[in-house]
């Protein structure tokens, strides 16, 4: 039954978790407050001056609790859990070096265990379907997709979703994409064009160097790959991609473009049903994408390092110049939280605004903002408690769906 104060008493196993007296990062401000969680939902955000006894008594007027946990967050930050919409680090977990594949289930288990450490409570695992190189061929991608769904049915530390990155020159992949959408096996779809001479690989020889390093192939082999890729690129069926975008939209699956480097590409992406632009190459392209109503995503490692590893757009410039609304970990999950604080310290962005780049904005882009992405009454209790050491933020506790999934304390502290 629904109760007067918004609590729902199911009569069994109710839990009360109180995160007391921290700096709570809300959508529009940071306040000294206490967050009250009942079961899997945020029940209240109350002023830090209200006593624990009064908070507990108010909750117990309406229901009984089988467990009560009080967490002291004094002098610490209380954030919504981070939402990462683009991260391909699972590939490195499976294949840390060329031609060294590790068991997929072990890799997924171990990779997921790292995410709460970095404050990531929702992960869109980025799996690439491309020309068949290494992990990016159909069979391994399909096996990973099936494994993640099987894993989610049995256990989860975080909210595991699937971001399928489709290399548009891979024509044989189109039927697979359609099946994944129709069977609701993916949650986010992006179109990539990693062919040489444009986008990420505008600089001569950059594509060849990347493939040789990451796939362990020879110069002669990579030349054959380039020739085949350029031939396949001429056959890209943009009308079919538009049809797939519309099909995805019907299933509430967001669609993104990737490495946009011109107004023309952005216009084509928008007309094809794209709503997110990932990693635009120039500031002009990023700003134009925002002006056209797209959500623009840039990489947290770029912010932390202060530059793009491919010598393209600096992410902090895009954010400061109204050219980006979302940050993702790209390939380095620990960068997400670090980037948020670096934006506050070095780019003079208010902390609550910086946090939204990694929480509410990606949630909105993925269509899940009604449930997660901010600390607000009634939303899912995905929360992290953040402390700092020498101005470096770290996660002390991670809560997903009202459950503590990670906690850490130093064995020694001076």
> pLDDT confidence of 223, banded at 50, 70, 90?
confident
196-205 pLDDT tens trace: 555 566 666 6
**The pLDDT of residue 373:** 98
**The pLDDT of residue 215:** 67
Residue 228 lies in a domain: no
Q: What is the mean pLDDT of residues 351-363?
A: 98
**The pLDDT of residue 5:** 41
Q: How many other CB atoms are found less than 10 A from the CB of residue 184?
A: 11
Note whether 288 and 388 are same-domain residues. Answer: no
80-122 pLDDT tens trace: 999 999 999 999 999 998 788 999 999 999 999 999 999 999 9
- What is the rounded distance in angstroms from the CA atom of residue 333 to the CA atom of residue 115? 7
CA angle 189/202/343 to nearest 5° reads 65
Q: Do the Cβ atoms of 59 and 43 come closer than 8 Å?
A: yes
Lowest mean pLDDT across 49-58, 92-101, 126-135, 344-353 = 126-135
**The pLDDT of residue 358:** 98
Note whether 170 and 31 are same-domain residues. Answer: no
Note whether 46 and 183 are same-domain residues. Answer: no
Note whether 184 and 324 are same-domain residues. Answer: yes
Residue 10 lies in a domain: no
Task: Give the total number of structural domains in the chain.
Answer: 2
**The pLDDT of residue 13:** 85
Question: Any idea what the CATH number is for the domain that residue 113 is in?
Answer: 3.20.20.140
Lowest mean pLDDT across 1-10, 63-72, 316-325 = 1-10
DSSP secondary structure code for residue 280 in this structure: -
Tell which wins on pLDDT, 181 or 138.
Answer: 181
Predicted TM-score (pTM) above 0.85: yes
pLDDT at 63 over 60: yes
Question: Any idea what the CATH number is for the domain that residue 25 is in?
Answer: 2.30.40.10
Q: How many other CB atoms are found less than 10 A from the CB of residue 412?
A: 4
Residue 206 lies in a domain: no
Residue 226 lies in a domain: no
Note whether 361 and 395 are same-domain residues. Answer: no
Note whether 68 and 88 are same-domain residues. Answer: no
- What is the rounded distance in angstroms from the CA atom of residue 313 to the CA atom of residue 61? 55
Note whether 128 and 175 are same-domain residues. Answer: yes
266-305 pLDDT tens trace: 999 999 899 999 999 999 999 999 999 999 999 999 999 9
Residue 414 lies in a domain: no
Note whether 261 and 385 are same-domain residues. Answer: no
Q: What is the mean pLDDT of residues 320-333?
A: 97
Tell which wins on pLDDT, 361 or 207.
Answer: 361
**The pLDDT of residue 3:** 33
Note whether 156 and 304 are same-domain residues. Answer: yes
Average pLDDT across the chain, whole number = 90
Residue 111 lies in a domain: yes
Residue 40 lies in a domain: yes
- Which segment, 91-100, 134-143, 202-211, is predicted with the most confidence on average? 91-100
Note whether 109 and 66 are same-domain residues. Answer: no
Note whether 286 and 380 are same-domain residues. Answer: no
> pLDDT confidence of 237, banded at 50, 70, 90?
confident
pLDDT at 10 over 80: no
**The pLDDT of residue 362:** 98
pLDDT at 234 over 80: no
- What is the rounded distance in angstroms from the CA atom of residue 242 to the CA atom of residue 177? 12
Lowest mean pLDDT across 2-11, 153-162, 306-315 = 2-11
Quote the domain boundaries for residue 338. Answer: 82-193+236-366
pLDDT at 6 over 70: no
Using CA atoms, how far residue 221 sits from 36, 218, 351, in Å, is 59, 5, 48
* Residue 132: closest CA among 213, 256, 244, 228: 228
Q: What is the mean pLDDT of residues 363-373?
A: 98
The phi, psi pair for 272, rounded to 5°, reads -90, 5
Note whether 393 and 295 are same-domain residues. Answer: no
Q: To the nearest whole percent, how much of the chain has pLDDT over 90?
A: 78
């Amino acid at each position: 039954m629904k109760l007067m104060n918004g609590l729902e008493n199911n009569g069994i196993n109710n839990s009360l978790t109180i995160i007391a007296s921290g700096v709570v990062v809300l959508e529009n401000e940071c306040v000294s407050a206490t967050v009250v969680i009942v079961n899997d939902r945020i029940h209240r955000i109350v002023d830090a001056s209200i006593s624990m006894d009064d908070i507990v008594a108010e909750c117990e007027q309406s229901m009984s609790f089988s467990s009560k946990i009080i967490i002291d967050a004094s002098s610490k930050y209380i954030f919504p859990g981070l939402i990462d919409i683009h991260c391909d680090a699972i590939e490195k977990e499976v294949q840390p070096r060329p031609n060294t594949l590790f068991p997929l289930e072990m890799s997924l288990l171990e990779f997921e265990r790292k995410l709460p450490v970095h404050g990531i409570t929702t992960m869109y695992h980025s799996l690439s379907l491309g020309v068949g190189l290494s992990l990016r061929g159909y069979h391994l991608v399909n096996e990973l997709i099936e494994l993640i769904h099987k894993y989610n049915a049995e256990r989860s530390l975080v909210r595991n979703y699937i971001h399928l990155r489709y290399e548009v020159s891979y024509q044989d992949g189109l039927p697979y994409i359609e099946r994944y959408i129709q069977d609701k096996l993916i949650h986010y779809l992006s179109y990539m064009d990693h062919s040489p001479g444009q986008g990420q690989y505008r600089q001569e020889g950059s594509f060849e160097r990347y493939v040789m390093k990451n796939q362990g192939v020879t110069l002669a082999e990579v030349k054959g790959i380039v020739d085949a890729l350029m031939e396949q690129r001429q056959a890209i069926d943009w009308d079919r991609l538009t049809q797939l975008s519309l099909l995805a939209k019907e299933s509430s699956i967001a669609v993104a473009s990737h490495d946009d480097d011109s107004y023309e590409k952005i216009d084509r992406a928008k007309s094809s049903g794209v709503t997110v632009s990932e990693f635009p190459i120039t500031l002009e392209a990023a700003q134009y994408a925002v002006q056209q109503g797209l959500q623009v995503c840039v990489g947290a490692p770029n912010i932390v390092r202060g530059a793009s590893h491919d010598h393209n757009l600096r992410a902090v410039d895009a954010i400061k110049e109204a050219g980006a609304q979302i940050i993702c970990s790209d390939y380095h999950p620990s960068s997400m939280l670090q980037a948020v604080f670096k934006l506050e310290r070095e780019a003079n962005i208010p902390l609550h605004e910086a946090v939204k780049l990694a929480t509410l904005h990606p949630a909105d882009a993925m269509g899940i903002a009604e449930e997660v992405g901010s600390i607000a009454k009634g939303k899912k209790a995905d929360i992290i408690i953040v402390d700092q050491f020498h101005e470096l933020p770290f996660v002390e506790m991670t809560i997903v769906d009202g459950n503590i999934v990670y906690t850490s304390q130093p064995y020694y502290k001076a």
